[in-house]
Amino acid sequence: MIPGSFDYHCPTTVDEAVALLGEYGEEARAIAGGHSLIPMMKLRLAAPEHLIDLRRIDSMRGISRDAGSIVIGATTTQAEIIVSPVIAADLPILSETATLIADPQVRAVGTIGGNVANGDPGNDMPALMQCLGADYVLKGPGGERTVAARDFYEGTYFTALEEGELLTAIRIPQPPAGIGWAYEKLKRKVGDYATAAAAVLLKMDGDTCSFASVALTNVGDTPLFAAEAAEALVGSKLDAAAINAAVAAAEAITNPASDGRGPAEYRTKMAGVMVRRAIARARNRAA
C-alpha cells in the first residue's frame, strides 16, 4: 500500500526538531532509518500528518569517547557501528550484535537510536544496552535528561519517552579490561527477529567470576535485564551448578508469546540455551 499524505520536515538541529514535535504534537512523528515507521505507514497503521527527518542533524551522529563512556549519536547506523574502530576496541559485543541485525541493506540505513527508542522487544540493541548499563540522553521541551536503559522500557512500544522528546544519544560506560562478552541469537532466517537471544558480560578474577551481566531479547513484553541470573554467576567458578542456576533464573523471568517462531515453552527454553551458550563464549573471551 501507499502511505497517506504528509508534510515533510528536515531540521538541522535538535532544538529545531524538538520545536517541530512540540508544534505539531500527536500529528508528528520523527524518522531516522524508517524501518519501523515506514512499513506501518504503508499499512496505514500509522498516518502522521508531519514527518520529521532527523538525518541532517549532525550532532545526533557519530561515535566518541567521553569521560569513561562511549557516546553514540542516535542516528548512527548499524553499519557505522560495525566498522567503528572505537567500538571494535572498547565494545566489540556491540559490533557483533549489529552484524546479526537483519541484512546489509537494513544495517546501512537503520539507526541505533531507532532500534532502541521505539520499544519493540524484538529489537536486538535494547537488551544489549541493559546488559551494558547504558543511559539514554533525551531532549524535549523541558530540556535534557538521562534515563537508564534498564528503566526505559515499560511495555511493548511503550517507553519512558515523554511527549515531544527525542532520544539524541546513548552513553555506555567503558567495560573494565579483560571483560568477556557474547551475544547469542536464535532466528529462523536472515533478517528475522530472534526466537530468543541473550547478551552476557563476564569478568574473571583468576578462576572466579567477579562480575556478570545478563539480558534477554524477544522473550517478554520488554527487553529483560536478568539480574538474578548474573548474581548466580558472580562468586562462582562458572561450574555447572552456577550456570544451571543462571539459566533457570533467566528462564523464570521470560513471558514470550506463542507465534510463528514457536510455542511459548519452546521460546523460554531457547532463551536458556542462548544464555548457556553466551556464558561459554564470554568465559572463553575473558582475559
Q: Other CB atoms closer than 10 Å to residue 39's CB: what's the count?
A: 13
Give the model's pLDDT for residue 35. 76
DSSP classification of residue 49: S
Distance between CA atoms of residues 84 and 88, nearest Å: 6
Helix axes 264-285, 240-252, angle to 10 degrees: 140
Q: CATH for 7-52?
A: 3.30.43.10
What's the one-letter identity of residue 120? D
Distance between CA atoms of residues 69 and 194, nearest Å: 28
SS3 per residue for 80-102: HHHHCHHHHHHCHHHHHHHHCCC
Give the model's pLDDT for residue 43. 80
Give the model's pLDDT for residue 144. 97
Length of the chain: 287
Give the model's pLDDT for residue 44. 84
Give the model's pLDDT for residue 216. 98
Phi-psi region of 177 (alpha: psi -120 to 50; beta: other; left: phi over 0): beta
Same fold yes or no, 62-173 and 180-285:
no
Name the nearest CA neighbour of 115 among 71, 159, 151: 159
Distance between CA atoms of residues 101 and 34, nearest Å: 15
Give the model's pLDDT for residue 37. 83
Handedness of CA 176, 69, 141, 39 (dihedral sign): negative
Per-residue model confidence as pLDDT tens for the chain (287 residues): 788 899 999 999 999 999 999 999 989 899 998 878 888 788 887 888 999 999 999 999 999 999 999 999 999 999 999 999 999 999 999 999 999 999 999 999 999 999 999 999 999 999 999 999 999 999 999 999 999 999 999 999 999 999 999 999 999 999 988 999 999 999 999 889 999 999 999 999 999 999 999 999 999 999 999 999 999 999 999 999 999 999 999 999 999 999 999 999 999 999 999 999 999 999 999 97
| Domain limits, the chain | 7-52, 62-173, 180-285
| Of the options 3.40.640.10, 1.10.1660.10, 3.40.50.620, 3.30.465.10, the CATH number for the domain spanning 62-173 | 3.30.465.10
What fold is seen in the domain 180-285? Answer: Enolase-like; domain 1 (3.30.390)
Give the model's pLDDT for residue 191. 84
Give the model's pLDDT for residue 159. 97
